[in-house]
Structure 1
Amino acid sequence: MGVPGAFYIENFMLGEFFLVSLTLEDIPNHGTIHFVCNSWIYNTTKYKTKRIFFANKTYLPSETPSPLVYYRQEELKTLRGDGTGERKEWDRIYDYDVYNDLGAPDKKASLARPVIGGSNTLPYPRRGRTGRKPAKKDPKSESRSDFVYLPRDESFGHLKSSDFLVYVLKSVSQNVIPQLQSAITLQFNRPEFNTFDEVRTFYEGGIKLPTNALSKLSPIPLFKELLRTDGEAPLKFPPPKVIQVNQSGWMTDEEFTREMIAGVNPHIIKRLLEFPPKSKLDRQVFGDNTSKVTKEHLQTNMCGVTVEQAIQTNRLYILDHHDPLFPYLRKINATETKAYATRTILFLQNDGTLKPLAIELSSPHPQADSFGPISKVYLPASEGVEASIWLLAKAYVVVNDSCYHQLVSHWLNTHAVVEPFIIATNRHLSVVHPIHKLLLPHYRDTMNINSLARSILVNAEGIIESTFLLGSYSIELSSVMYKDWVFTEQGLPHDLLKRGMAVEDPTSPQGLRLLIEDYPYAADGLEIWTAIKTWVEEYVNFYYNSDATIVQDSELQAFWKELVEVGHGDLKNATWWFKMQTRAELIEACTILIWIASALHAAVNFGQYPYGGFILNRPTKTRRLMPEKGTPEYDELSKNYQKTFLRTITPKKDTLTNLTIIEILSRHASDEQYLGERIEGDLWTCDSQPLEAFKRFGRKLAEIEQKLTQRNNDESLRNRYGPVKMPYTLLYPSSEEGLTCRGIPNSISI
């Protein structure tokens, strides 16, 4: 038979076991063969086909040794399944479904939710199919249960501490948070914060807990560092970085704008190319939504520069949260939450920092949406009641940004859009295919955390619906935004050019020049993007010596066809999809995917607690409209602005829920795999050139980290620290375990 290329394994024990690897030594005329497995093996009666593992060699389909061709094809058939039946724990089948499992109509009518995905009205990426039975009261929806199927190797159980974080997240949301909320009510005997100092007691004084809550928390290792043993205020949250040095810096205009380019949602800001800003909303339905901001509003604070001059010299920018939110305002404002659509106009100053010029708050017309919005413009103020009004105006902006960040920037544009790639890869690219080997580290734990999210985070009355502004319309909004999602624009250079934040520059290493030179997310991100693309180029060009080999790769073509037509099938008719006929297209596609799963997710996830753990800095709800002169609310604001501010933003119970959840979501597991690392060490392939290229990639990332550290030590770059004295570290490649506000994991693992 020659040198073994694969082996079968059968388990005759009752229990399953985890097979890490197999090594055959002293093969005649060959030496050692490594089989990297990392898979659960169940009793042989659980499988319809034998479990097979391949040696760590890499073959394009056309180059597969003839004795292995059959086994390669049969294994892919097994992983695809037949699309029927309810999946069981031991199954290894990857298949697609729509998001029809977010609601629980059988439990109560208010928990019914529309099916997301599979229609032009509410399009969405596909999720992994579980095959659970239809709900009795809504056959289009899937019934919910405690067991949510994942292909077995996507959920490693408690072998991995990252899975333990998932376990903690689930137990905390279902058991601990209700106990904590009742403790809050008991301790403070009131549901609201009254002063900013009271908010800080969450970090300084701590929260006394009843015995039953302590008994649930104590066994969980994550909470051991939060629980004191002296009997006084046993639960104390770590101070978020944004207030560790300067407790009031978050209130400044400079920090408000700095976080638009160095915060947790740093890729929404755009250069303003026309004035006044216009809307893309349908005029027949929503009227004229052109901004009511005038040149006079702006030019009083532009140091003698006119609006025309500022646009010509690339000095006007906008944080625009108008169009996504305006269609939902009437629905939102009919509930206990109250909101505005917002536009924030910004000016680039000579020192490289941004300052806000105006905030526009828009509400639906009392008569009908078609009459257009009622808009009011607010200008910066530093004294008297006007300063309090301005602080509230900024809060409405940040709440919109928090919701857009969580639902679109974070959940949709990283978690949800990557899942179809994982499914399509496992269905059509063999484990010995070079692109499977390239992408595998960037899929680790993603289906696992996504399945949990559907159970406790984005589900009906889950964490997001309960504690964020949009409530039951949350996922619906992200579906509307998915209509405009373009895969080819998700790479950082394309994104920066599209938003007008950079211009093409052939003399630059990255091929473009930032118009805000001190733009921490973009400057650091371009370093990481370039390193990823260089690695992918070297790897792809090693295995594909021409464009013809791309076209002739049957597995690659099947993978891409199904990804476009099924995995992202609601956008299958879009003309922007790569045709996947050239090496350049494959390189760009893989680079974009790795960027999304690693650096983009790191940038929008691991700063959640460091920035948003202080609810005053990033509130998630507004519950009152702006006070008007002559009203009791306005009088209250003029006398006690802190109380009015706190009655407007996220209440105490929701704050506690948010702190508990995002503190977990912002942590790194002890066994995290970071960019430039692989769990298999050097055994993932036996091809020396890709191994050397990967080592160069790792060394390059270490060099980049030193470079980013030097940037943060440059005091002339004011946006890297800001008034809160918090360096921008979210794109440092490495990290330790825990709450570090840095580190780029390979994958969306939490």
Structure 2
Amino acid sequence: MQLMLSLPSLAIASPCSLSVLLRLMTYLPSATPGPLVKYRQEELEVLRGDGTGKRRDFDRIYDYDIYNDLGNPDGGDPRPIIGGSSNYPYPRRVRTGREKTRKDPNSEKPGEIYVPRDENFGHLKSSDFLTYGIKSLSQNVIPLFKSIIFDLRVTSSEFDSFDEVRGLFEGGIKLPTNILSQISPLPVLKEIFRTDGENTLQFPPPHVIRVSKSGWMTDDEFAREMIAGVNPNVIRRLQEFPPKSTLDPATYGDQTSTITKQQLEINLGGVTVEEAISAHRLFILDYHDAFFPYLTKINSLPIAKAYATRTILFLKDDGSLKPLAIELSKPATVSKVVLPATEGVESTIWLLAKAHVIVNDSGYHQLISHWLNTHAVMEPFAIATNRHLSVLHPIYKLLYPHYKDTININGLARQSLINAGGIIEQTFLPGKYSIEMSSVVYKNWVFTDQALPADLVKRGLAVEDPSAPHGLRLVIEDYPYAVDGLEIWDAIKTWVHEYVSVYYPTNAAIQQDTELQAWWKEVVEKGHGDLKDKPWWPKLQTVEDLIQSCSIIIWTASALHAAVNFGQYPYGGYIVNRPTLARRFIPEEGTKEYDEMVKDPQKAYLRTITPKFETLIDISVIEILSRHASDEVYLGQRDNPNWTTDSKALEAFKKFGNKLAEIEGKITQRNNDPSLKSRHGPVQLPYTLLHRSSEEGMSFKGIPNSISI
């Protein structure tokens, strides 16, 4: 690299101009010019700190801690400490060093979050919706909702019909005169409340009902959202029958599925279960093992009545999926198996069974697919990168855009979303056991499986085939998340390969890079220290190790997060489509609830799922989370187009951006192909979550560089 200034002039450059200049230069540690060596080392020492003391607003220190600040032991609301033990392993968060609680010397007092100074939101993002939005939601909007529903008796605490739910978007809830003046005029409220003098609480119509009001109820849409919805990476191919459990039978008994071949073959059109498995046409959405160990605890909560679910599906001749059976399990009882029905009370029971599946799916999505597998697992990478890779380092320059705002939004989440009594605990099925459950699932997290090709193969959704595009043959050809995602994955990996090759011509160059090796050692041994002994961690001894690891980091922070985040309101804003709570088991014949179900199926459904108060919280928060900020920077873009002085790197990055633009065009073409039924489904909602670019606001598309919300 050629310096833009002579080295002597660096000594007299202003600190500001020097910082900007250094962020453009790129040097491996062994090739750093002499005058910069000391500067490089000293800055990293400052960023690492000494691991002691309470962090202050002006600090630029990155250090690790466990999740010991979610509960409030002194206030009588403790939570288990998550991270640092085999019982509750977890990725690490940024250390704050706050005072410990009186009742638990290992827990930190809740309070204002610490974010290293370099991580603070820019002015535009902060004023848009994040800081104001999430904080005002918990501090101002939720108390307002309580007063509307419980104190002022303006409206019933229950929805009585699907029309009434749609009224949240089509007519709104009328409020008492001047009630809005009781709360501060914060920016997020301007998005939620109409300001035309009508005092009406009204939300934008979710995309899932913009074209069809009832398409969500169909079996086709229920199945389609497993591969083109907001949680498209859990379904797997069924490879043995009956489905088995991984739970310890000594503790939980035999949890092998009770679904029979005869029950499935009713709707297989003459195909046997063995033939369907052999032809790769049976699939399962399996939440049994994730929820079953916690069902007794969950069902002891005030309003929870839930099952652990298994759903088996069949790949039809037209390439779409249809559900064949749903198994509903709970401790100490025989599992209930429900089959599809279109008429009479059986159709209502089938609709309720699907609701219980989606409640499992909603909780797993929010806690695992979204929070754990993107937000939480990325924070240690961001910490370690700032502690060990200088701003001069090529891998720092490659990765830093993909950490933007992640530490900040995660801190806000610990403060208002995943904390004890926070929004997630109030409105999702696992309640106070939410983060504890995600910790149990983290035991089985595998870094290398986060690569999309590896994930698809592991779930049996793809088989390796050198003659196929991307080297994989999809078992479900019309799988929007996988089809679009594989193109983006390949574009990311190609870009990373071309960039890394500029600086690392040999494996020896990787092995001799002291900063790089220290970075990776700390990612594994500290950032993900509870899993440090797992054999699947790359050793980072080869160029391919580095390319694959960086590609996984970028994929996770950008496309994976986009796929599981920005469809939350479009699909889940209509709560009957994606309920988050289950409050009743399926009624048994001879009970009052059964008679109500026969008489008024819609009311029975609405008494089973998320009630009105929790619905208002749910759709308020996911509306905020589904929006793009005005200063969003998307994959293949940089906030500074001249982010490096290296022309080869800039040329490779330009090719990356052009490739992503080409993929956008292909996605549009696929969405216009009527033969691809999973691209739209009965609700006529094209799959655009992996469309790279977007406008500001809630667009149902756009892949930001980082987990910024």
TM-score w.r.t. the length of structure 1 is 0.92
712, 728, 741: which one aligns with 2:687: 728
Give the equivalent residue in structure 2 for 1:540: 500
Q: Contact 2:511/2:517 (CA < 8 Å) preserved in 1?
A: yes
SS in 1 for 2:73: coil
Farther-moved stretch of structure 1 (177-186 vs 604-613): 177-186
What is the CA deviation profile of residues 492-549 of structure 1, one whole-angstrom value per residue up to 9, with x for unaligned ones?
A: 0000000000011101231101110000000000010000000000000110010000
Gap regions ≥5 residues in structure 2? none
Distance in 2, matches of 1:7 and 1:310, equals 72
Distance in 1, matches of 2:352 and 2:209, equals 19
Distance in 1, matches of 2:404 and 2:410, equals 12
132, 136, 142: which one aligns with 1:167: 132
- Are residue 693 (structure 1) and residue 652 (structure 2) matched? yes
646, 668, 673: which one aligns with 1:714: 673
Distance in 2, matches of 1:5 and 1:60, equals 21
SS in 2 for 1:314: coil
What is the CA deviation profile of residues 373-416 of structure 1, one whole-angstrom value per residue up to 9, with x for unaligned ones?
A: 52011000000000000000000000000000000000000000
Q: How much does 1:472 deviate?
A: 0.6
Give the equivalent residue in structure 2 for 1:522: 482
Distance in 2, matches of 1:356 and 1:188, equals 40
Letter paired with 1:3: L
Letter paired with 1:666: S
SS in 2 for 1:436: helix
Q: How much does 1:217 deviate?
A: 6.5
- Are residue 93 (structure 1) and residue 96 (structure 2) matched? no
Letter paired with 1:337: A
Note the 1:17-416 alignment, pairs <5 A: 22=17, 37=20, 54=22, 56-107=24-75, 109=76, 111-145=77-111, 147-156=112-121, 158-161=123-126, 164-185=129-150, 186=152, 188-210=154-176, 213-215=179-181, 219-335=185-301, 336-365=303-332, 374-416=334-376
Q: Contact 1:5/1:54 (CA < 8 Å) preserved in 2?
A: no
Distance in 2, matches of 1:406 and 1:507, equals 37
Gap regions ≥5 residues in structure 1? 12-18, 23-34, 38-52, 366-372
Q: Contact 1:161/1:671 (CA < 8 Å) preserved in 2?
A: no
Give the equivalent residue in structure 2 for 1:744: 703
Give the equivalent residue in structure 1 for 2:626: 666
Distance in 1, matches of 2:148 and 2:578, equals 24
Query: Cα distance 1:154–1:201, how it changes in 2: closer, same or farther (>3 A)?
Result: same
Query: Cα distance 1:212–1:343, how it changes in 2: closer, same or farther (>3 A)?
Result: same
Q: Contact 1:6/1:54 (CA < 8 Å) preserved in 2?
A: no
Q: How much does 1:171 deviate?
A: 1.2
Q: Contact 2:194/2:200 (CA < 8 Å) preserved in 1?
A: yes
Give the equivalent residue in structure 1 for 2:403: 443
Farther-moved stretch of structure 1 (161-170 vs 591-600): 161-170
Distance in 1, matches of 2:350 and 2:79, equals 37
Query: Cα distance 1:163–1:585, how it changes in 2: closer, same or farther (>3 A)?
Result: farther
- Are residue 462 (structure 1) and residue 422 (structure 2) matched? yes
Q: Contact 2:129/2:188 (CA < 8 Å) preserved in 1?
A: no
Distance in 1, matches of 2:347 and 2:8, equals 75
Q: How much does 1:158 deviate?
A: 2.7
Letter paired with 2:535: T
Farther-moved stretch of structure 1 (628-637 vs 257-266): 628-637
Q: How much does 1:10 deviate?
A: 8.2
What is the CA deviation profile of residues 152-209 of structure 1, one whole-angstrom value per residue up to 9, with x for unaligned ones?
A: 1111353535774232221122112211331234364421111111111100111223
Distance in 2, matches of 1:643 and 1:554, equals 64
Note the 1:463-612 alignment, pairs <5 A: 463-612=423-572
Matched residue count: 703
Distance in 1, matches of 2:480 and 2:19, equals 39
Between Structure 1 and Structure 2, the one with more helix by share is 2
SS in 2 for 1:570: helix
Give the equivalent residue in structure 2 for 1:452: 412
Letter paired with 2:284: I
Q: Contact 2:566/2:701 (CA < 8 Å) preserved in 1?
A: yes
Please tell me the root mean square deviation across aligned C-alpha atoms, in Å.
Answer: 1.6
Letter paired with 2:26: T
Distance in 2, matches of 1:118 and 1:599, equals 29
Distance in 1, matches of 2:640 and 2:131, equals 23
Identity %: 67
SS in 2 for 1:324: helix
Distance in 2, matches of 1:9 and 1:452, equals 37
Letter paired with 1:323: D
What is the CA deviation profile of residues 40-71 of structure 1, one whole-angstrom value per residue up to 9, with x for unaligned ones?
A: xxxxxxxxxxxxx7251100000101121111
Q: Contact 2:306/2:583 (CA < 8 Å) preserved in 1?
A: yes
Distance in 2, matches of 1:36 and 1:742, equals 35
SS in 1 for 2:368: helix
Distance in 1, matches of 2:609 and 2:153, equals 21
Instruction: Using CA pairs under 8 Å that are at least 6 residues apart, name the structure with larger relative contact order, 1 or 2.
Output: 2
Distance in 2, matches of 1:328 and 1:308, equals 33
Query: Cα distance 1:451–1:161, how it changes in 2: closer, same or farther (>3 A)?
Result: closer
SS in 1 for 2:309: strand
What is the CA deviation profile of residues 112-161 of structure 1, one whole-angstrom value per residue up to 9, with x for unaligned ones?
A: 0110000000000000000001011111100112x211101111353535
Letter paired with 2:614: D
SS in 2 for 1:318: strand
TM-score w.r.t. the length of structure 2 is 0.97
Query: Cα distance 1:574–1:255, how it changes in 2: closer, same or farther (>3 A)?
Result: same
What is the CA deviation profile of residues 259-311 of structure 1, one whole-angstrom value per residue up to 9, with x for unaligned ones?
A: 00000000000000000000000010001000000000000100110000000
SS in 1 for 2:201: coil
Query: Cα distance 1:296–1:6, how it changes in 2: closer, same or farther (>3 A)?
Result: farther
389, 404, 413: which one aligns with 1:429: 389
